[in-house]
């Protein structure tokens, strides 16, 4: 299962609605959260239940938590972006193209690396305010 993250407040313009959705594989979601925690997000685990909904559930990460997540991911981008482009490919979700593989720049230490675009996308969603988190279908390998 993958994780779908959406801005909890509907966009003012329908044309921006697709830009306010992020879908991440289970592995990338775990890495994104671990990377954010390394940079100060949710040190006491207060939001753990909100970040791991069951299939069919949607949970909302409140404004304060979303802002903390955005700050932590911004720090991760600044401090841990790989100095060179990686030849590594990862799964990326695009509302128009669906799941597809892309070469990506990596962020994070070995074993915890995740695509730069994923980190930035989740950070941008969290910057907008509260976000909802739900389970989604994982790409077929």
Look at residues 61, 34, 65, 64 and name the one whose alpha carbon lies nearest to residue 50: 61
Look at residues 84, 81, 83 and name the one whose alpha carbon lies nearest to residue 107: 81
Compute the distance between CA of residue 45 and CA of residue 31 in angstroms, rounded to an integer.
Answer: 16
Domain enclosing residue 73, as ranges: 2-136
What pLDDT, in 10s, does the model give residues 6-58? 988 776 655 554 557 889 999 999 999 999 999 999 999 999 999 999 998 99
Is residue 57 one of the residues assigned to a domain?
yes
Look at residues 20, 12, 16 and name the one whose alpha carbon lies nearest to residue 132: 20
Is residue 71 one of the residues assigned to a domain?
yes
Q: 16 phi and psi, to 5 degrees?
A: -95, 0
Q: 81 phi and psi, to 5 degrees?
A: -75, 135
Q: Are 104 and 88 in contact (CB under 8 A)?
A: yes
Is residue 79 one of the residues assigned to a domain?
yes
Is residue 141 one of the residues assigned to a domain?
no
Mean pLDDT score across all residues of the chain: 85
Is residue 87 one of the residues assigned to a domain?
yes
Domain total for the chain? 1
Higher pLDDT among residues 132 and 140, named by residue: 132
- Calculate mean pLDDT across residues 52-72: 95
């Amino acid at each position: 299962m993958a994780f779908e993250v959406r801005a909890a407040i509907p966009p003012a313009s329908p044309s921006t609605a697709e830009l306010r959705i992020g879908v991440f594989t289970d592995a990338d979601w775990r890495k994104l959260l671990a990377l954010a925690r390394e940079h100060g997000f949710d040190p006491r685990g207060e939001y753990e239940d909100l970040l791991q909904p069951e299939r069919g559930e949607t949970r909302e990460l409140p404004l304060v938590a979303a802002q903390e997540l955005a700050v932590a991911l911004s720090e991760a981008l600044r401090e841990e972006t790989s100095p060179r482009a990686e030849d590594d490919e990862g799964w990326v979700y695009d509302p128009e193209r669906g799941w597809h593989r892309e070469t990506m720049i990596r962020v994070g230490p070995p074993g915890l690396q995740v695509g730069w675009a994923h980190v930035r996308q989740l950070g941008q969603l969290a910057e907008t305010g509260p976000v909802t988190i739900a389970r989604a279908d994982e790409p077929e390998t």
